[in-house]
Amino acid sequence: MTAILLILSALGVFVLGYRFFAKFLVLGVFRLQQDTPTPAEQRADGRDFIPSPRVLLLGQHAAGAVGILSVVGVAVALVWGWVPAFLWVVVGTLLAGGTHAMGALWASLRRSGDSLASVSFDLTGIPGAMSLYFLGVALLVIVSVLLSVLIGSLLRAHPEAAWAFLALLPATAVARRGAADAAWPVAVLFYLGALSLFFIALIAGQYLPLSLAGSWILTSGDVELLLLTDDLAWSLLALAFTYLSIKHPVDRTARPRGLLVTCLLIITIAAAIVGIALAQPELAAPQFQRDADLPSPLVLLFIVVTGGALSGVHGLLASGPTVRQLPSHGDAPVIAFGGTLLDGLLAVCVVVALAAGFSSADDWLALYGLWPEQASLFAWLDLAVVKLGLFIAAAGLPLPWAVALVAAVFAGLALTMLENAARALAFSIDEFVEDFDLAALKAPLFRERMVLAALVVGSVALSQTDPALEHWLLLGLTNLWFATTVLLMLALILLKLDRPPVFALAPVVVLAPLLLWGTAWVLNEYWQSGSWFLLGVSAVVVALAACTAGVTLLAVLAQRRRQAGTGLAAPRGP
């Protein structure tokens, strides 16, 4: 099968899905109130709650929701063949991921921009709310730490992309001038200037690559305490950029950088699609692959594909930084559903890039291999970078430049997602301090410093090992459990409003048995391999998710019984 047909079919499904399914969710399920003030207007504070122009917010949300998590997850999932990965990305993105992202944004909108934990408190009380809160915090920390480490690995492996990554800072300053200008032609000129800075730095990197060579070992006697590597230096630099971003109002850095990186992502995807169309590669990877040592895709496929389908991270970002800037309710489908579809499109391009361009299935298998349990996550990420670069080179760009472009854009995507996740984590800390009236913790920049400290410690700890599949499975479990509990919560809200809950419940019904099966498999693997820390963290995650899901499910069943017993419809609400 020709690879370009796969991309065109996915594009067609996404366009039709946005045109009809997203519209149905807005009008028939969530029923967004177009004339209702948004939290950005109701609670405007000049820092977090700031109404944003639609294009700017779409850029920020898309850059935060689309990330290298999708790339790594799809690359791992392709080990079962391209058909399962492609179908889950396309169908899951449209029916599960879009519904989840839209629903999370809608649930927060109904509560004037409150977090999903606050929404859960109104529905299930303290047990459900507190467990969902800590589950969300755990997910944000795990995602942020993995992102910072992968940024370091990318820039260490591709020093020719380092200057372009660093150029995002001055380019953001230029883009901010454009974002502040009310006249769109002037704003476009500023953004073109920002893009020019990025590409000039990309060209400079071909002649003067920037590498942070060397490592430092902290020892006590003959005992090695800590290894500080060059990739850790890049990770810490990314965290420093993140801290500078979240300590300032959201419209100063996060918005303009988000739109800038989204523009770069669209350019990269478009160039890859053109290259694939010109090269006309056949899909060499097997459609389905089963091996005695390969776990069933029904056990792990839905866990490893953390982006491009059903992602709890999308819900946290939609109900965190995004809802606090939404200019109108009518923009919700463009922002939430549109960002999910862009994530899905990137995931489809990765499927094609990793499945095509080989002379035979044997050549694909020789490079790709079977189930390498201890393989580095970066190995899969770098394979996607190189393969996408090859197809962009087919469109006319020199290969080293094409690979550097993909590496720099992926590093930029990871940085924007890291910034949005860290901002959402800061919101969580702020909410905890406010809810429990901890006056001693209300010092200026307290939440930002707490976030930075937690992520630095986590990044240093993770850098002492090479992030492998076992770390990815922890992220996948946390991500999918959070998304599942939020879907249950959405079903309960819809039931209380006498609206059809089937669109929130259907993904849960399909995924819950698979998720339970996969969770048992992952916990057993941790036990067998002696990964006691990962086993302990996973057990806590499962316990938190089980508490929230159990309490919410009982509330759903109780609501159904009440409605069936009275024979009366529940009161309608906005």
The span from the CA of 180 to the CA of 117, in Å, is 33
Domain residue spans of the chain:
3-460
Q: What is the pLDDT of residues 380-436, one digit of tens each?
A: 899 999 999 999 999 999 999 999 999 999 999 999 999 999 999 999 988 888 877
Which pLDDT value is given to residue 527?
Answer: 95
According to CATH, what is the number of the domain 3-460? 1.10.4160
Instruction: Give mean pLDDT, residues 118-143.
Output: 92
Q: What is the pLDDT of residues 274-293, one digit of tens each?
A: 999 999 998 989 898 877 67
| Residue 37 pLDDT greater than 70, yes or no | yes
Residue-by-residue DSSP string for 329-368: GGGHIIIIIHHHHHHHHHHHHHHHHHHBS-SSHHHHHHHH
Which pLDDT value is given to residue 225?
Answer: 66
Listed residue (394, 399, 367, 366) closest to 380, CA to CA: 367
Listed residue (324, 308, 269) closest to 101, CA to CA: 308
Instruction: Give mean pLDDT, residues 77-87.
Output: 91
Decide which of 332 and 405 is more confident: 405
Q: What is the pLDDT of residues 342-359, one digit of tens each?
A: 999 999 999 999 999 888
- pLDDT bucket at 574, cuts 50 / 70 / 90: very low
Handedness of CA 444, 445, 450, 456 (dihedral sign): negative
Q: Which of 39-48, 316-325, 370-379 has the lowest mean pLDDT?
A: 370-379
Handedness of CA 360, 364, 365, 366 (dihedral sign): positive
Which pLDDT value is given to residue 143?
Answer: 94
Which pLDDT value is given to residue 570?
Answer: 46
Listed residue (443, 442, 451, 446) closest to 423, CA to CA: 451
Burial 521-556 (b: 16+ CB within 10 A, else e): bbbebbeeeebeebbebbeebbebbebbbbbbbebb
Q: What is the pLDDT of residues 447-475, one digit of tens each?
A: 899 999 999 999 999 988 888 888 999 99
Tokens, residue 543 = 């316990």
Listed residue (283, 285, 255, 245) closest to 418, CA to CA: 245
Contact criterion met (CB below 8 Å) for 378 and 75: no
Q: Which of 95-99, 191-195, 216-220 has the lowest mean pLDDT?
A: 216-220
The span from the CA of 460 to the CA of 136, in Å, is 22
- pLDDT bucket at 370, cuts 50 / 70 / 90: low
Which pLDDT value is given to residue 532?
Answer: 94
Instruction: Give mean pLDDT, residues 49-71.
Output: 87
- pLDDT bucket at 537, cuts 50 / 70 / 90: very high
SS3 assignment for 107-125: HHHHCCCCCHHHHHHHHHC
Which pLDDT value is given to residue 374?
Answer: 57
Decide which of 560 and 232 is more confident: 232
Q: What is the pLDDT of residues 480-533, one digit of tens each?
A: 999 999 999 999 999 988 888 898 999 899 889 999 999 999 999 999 999 999
Q: Which of 323-332, 436-445, 525-534, 539-548 has the lowest mean pLDDT?
A: 436-445
Instruction: Give mean pLDDT, residues 367-375.
Output: 66
Tokens, residue 446 = 């307290």
| Residue 572 pLDDT greater than 50, yes or no | no
The span from the CA of 140 to the CA of 421, in Å, is 6
Which pLDDT value is given to residue 309?
Answer: 77
Which pLDDT value is given to residue 573?
Answer: 47
